[in-house]
Amino acid sequence: MPSSTPRAVHPGAWWLWAIGLAVAVSQTTNPLVLLLAAAAVTFVVMARRSDSPWARAFTLYAVLGGFIIALRLVLHVLVGLKWGEVLLLPLPEIDLPSWAAGINLLGDLRLEGLLAALFEGMRLAAMILCVGAANALADPKRLLAALPGALQEIGTAIVVAISVAPQLAESARRVHRARLLRGDGARGLRAVARVAMPVLEDTLERSMALAASMDSRGYGRRGETSPARHRTTGALTLGGLLGMAVGSYGILDTSSPEWVGLPLLLLGVLLGALGLASGSSAVSRTTYRPSPWRLPETITALCGVLAALAAFASAHWEPSTLTMPLSPIGPPPLPWLLTLGLLVAILPAVLTPAPPLTRERDRARRITTTEGSHP
């Protein structure tokens, strides 16, 4: 059962949950499954996101997903492979030069090809929505503090990169509020032209302030290490990466020897872990109020892993249900294993503690409670 005390869930748990869902979504183009995955992700985000700036960026990821679907359909109409039997719209076909042979510009638009392009766009949009969910639920600064010391520089770059969308959303909100206070209610393209520069300037100032605060706290600074330690860490990390790459190839290629697959992959994971441990020992740092990993975090991560395993199990036991029949067109089947995995992925919405209230929400709740108790 979730704790009754509000607290922030470990950001690593949310990212493991989101990555598991993204892996599950990548295995299918079934529209029913994709819509169910999008609904599950949205439900968990609405139930467990805070009112922090990065939590408001989920809407931007949803808009980006819709844009990707529309762009995928437009590209199919322009240069996509037109196939199928049901003719939707007869369009002229434009001949291209010889250096562009094999590319058809326009041409008759057919239903089967258009649906295939739609489902491919939906799959990519669902994967982006999973990443947006992790960004909305996990505090990027707490994620940086939870990373191993060896990944500090890479983690800093990643955290700054994933913080761009939340900072843009917060800057746009602040600029919009300032415009309303000044009586500027312009909308449309004229409003975009007026808002773009202040938003970019505000985002740049916040990024510079973040970089300055991180530098003042010693991010990226290392202690004295011997050249032998540097060589050992580099050799272990490189060996781990090579082992994981070759091992993954061996698992995917059934004609490879048995020792090239899982054994080499496990050896690569072991060497990579040793490299991270060796590199982390050279970094001395302290963390104020570190994020705990408790039962809710374990449940959240397992829900994402189970969703990914359910997708792989469906690909093995019921592969025909992962795609919608298009030749001829038929109703989309329902993969029971993957559907069950996506339903399990909703459990963090009720099995994790509620996010803590910010000062503004806490003050508003107290005022509401006081007004309600004194009629």
> Residues 41-95: pLDDT tens digits?
999 999 888 777 667 778 888 999 999 999 999 998 888 778 888 888 888 877 7
The end-to-end CA distance of the chain, in Å, is 37
Contact 326, 112 (CB under 8 A): yes
The per-residue pLDDT for 177 is 76
Q: Which residues contact 163 (CB under 8 A, 6 or more apart)?
A: 54, 140, 210
The residues, any chain, with a CB within 8 Å of residue 19's CB and separated by 6 or more, are 130, 134, 304, 308
The C-alpha atoms of residue 60 and residue 262 are separated, in whole angstroms, by 39
Q: What is the pLDDT of residue 3?
A: 52
CA distances (Å), 374 to each of 281, 362, 365, 366, 369, in order? 58, 19, 14, 12, 9
- Predicted local distance difference test score (pLDDT) of residue 271: 83
Residue 52: its pLDDT value, please?
73
Residues of the chain falling short of pLDDT 50: 1-2, 359-375
Rounded Cα–Cα distance for residues 48 and 335 (Å):
28
pLDDT score, position 179: 74
pLDDT tens-digit map of 317-329: 988 888 888 888 8
Angstrom distance (rounded) from CA 45 to CA 38: 11
Nearest to 69 by CA among 107, 29, 17: 29
pLDDT of residue 233: 74
